[in-house]
Amino acid sequence: MPGDKTVGGGDDAFNTFFSETGAGKHVPRAVFVDLEPTVIDEVRTGTYRQLFHPEQLISGKEDAANNFARGHYTIGKEIVDLCLDRIRKLADNCTGLQGFLVFNAVGGGTGSGLGSLLLERLSVDYGKKSKLGFTVYPSPQVSTSVVEPYNSVLSTHSLLEHTDVAVLLDNEAIYDICRRSLDIERPTYTNLNRLVSQVISSLTASLRFDGALNVDVTEFQTNLVPYPRIHFMLSSYAPVISAEKAYHEQLSVAEITNSAFEPSSMMAKCDPRHGKYMACCLMYRGDVVPKDVNAAVATIKTKRTIQFVDWCPTGFKCALWSASDKIGFLPPVSMDAEILRIASDNWILGLMEYSFLHL
């Protein structure tokens, strides 16, 4: 996440996640890593193969076989230096490096083992630079391996020590949102990824757009983390509605705010009504004014189901911005992009952390 204009000049908002070559081509500031080539090969040969730099698509010859130790100590150790070399080249191309966004799932051997190793090495090489993790944890009903809990526990140590903020996701919660809110009977990984991408897009929008009450990603740690090791966030997103309902729904800021606090909107299987908040960040995007936000937050504060702890400073952090219609969005389901613009006139991303998360 660079914090300034970069090689090739141009729009700061665009250059946050893309660098411009001398030939005028925009290349994502991203490195894709896997210990086996199958998935990375899909990117190499897929529709967007011309978008990515070939050297930033890194794959090994064999996977970690759902084994944390293989991903961290043996197979992963052979490839980590190559990954860090590519990351260093990207970092050198930034005039003001803010930090890193790390995406991984901790149920498998590669995501947990190699993911932990990369976080540890990034801490050594880049010191105090912010590291935001978007981590997919195993869920009770949606599991691909019996050893997922072991990999997750082993990986959590690195997340505790080497990330500044970790946003928790799980496939079961996102599956349920797709079925219940988007009327998708059998959601695919494409549906899940598109919904998650909307959450991450809202989270990083403050880096790319101006707003009335803007918030920078580095402020999440300041406002949401009372103690360094307590930095695991639960995210929610609203409104999530199907294409058919989008034509008829007209939700107010208060309604969207209320729905963001519902357990059914959470991106991980967790009921916040059974715990207390330590901090909460509300990020509004679209046709929203501060007056409506203040009224919605005032209403939320009166609810008994939303309580804050009494042993640390608490409160709501709010951010507002509106994005241009010229920006292209990824729809959360297989629908026309126009439908998404209608459905997303007002939306909110709530980042919450709860007192009952003890690791």
Q: 259-303: per-residue pLDDT in tens?
A: 888 889 889 888 888 888 888 888 888 878 889 889 988 998 898
C-alpha to C-alpha distances, 177 to 169, 259, 334, 347, nearest whole angstrom: 12, 13, 14, 16
81 pLDDT exceeds 90?
yes
pLDDT classification of 98: cutoffs 50, 70, 90: confident
The CA distance from 330 to 201, in Å, is 9
* Active-site option among 36, 120, 219, 255: 219
Asked whether 266 and 274 are in contact (CB, 8 A), the reply is: no
Note the pLDDT of residue 338.
20
| Cα(157)–Cα(207) distance, integer angstroms | 29
Class of domain 209-359: alpha beta
In this predicted structure, the answer to whether residue 353 has a pLDDT above a threshold of 80 is: no
Q: Does the pLDDT at position 147 exceed 60?
A: yes
Determine the Cα–Cα distance for residues 65 and 73; give it in Å rounded to an integer: 13
Return d(Cα 195, Cα 258) in angstroms, integer: 20
Asked if residue 165 has pLDDT above 80, the reply is yes
Assess contact for 207 and 321: CB atoms under 8 A.
Answer: no
Tokens, residue 285: 């995007």
What are the tens digits of pLDDT across the range 47-68?
999 999 999 999 999 999 999 9
Lowest mean per-residue pLDDT among 9-13, 166-170, 196-200, 330-334: 330-334
pLDDT of residue 216: 67
pLDDT at 217 over 80: no
Res. 349: pLDDT tops 70: no
Is 353 among the residues known to form the active site? no
Q: What is the largest CA-CA distance in the chain?
A: 58
Domain locations in the chain as residue ranges: 1-163, 209-359
Q: Compute the average pLDDT of residues 121-149.
A: 90
Q: For residue 228, is pLDDT > 60?
A: yes
Buried b (16+ CB within 10 A) or exposed e, 215-249: bebbebbebbbbeeebbbbbbbbbbbbbbeebeee
**CB-based contacts of 194: which residues, under 8 Å, 6+ apart?**
330, 331, 332, 333
CATH of domain 1-163: 3.40.50.1440
What average pLDDT score do residues 208-214 get? 65
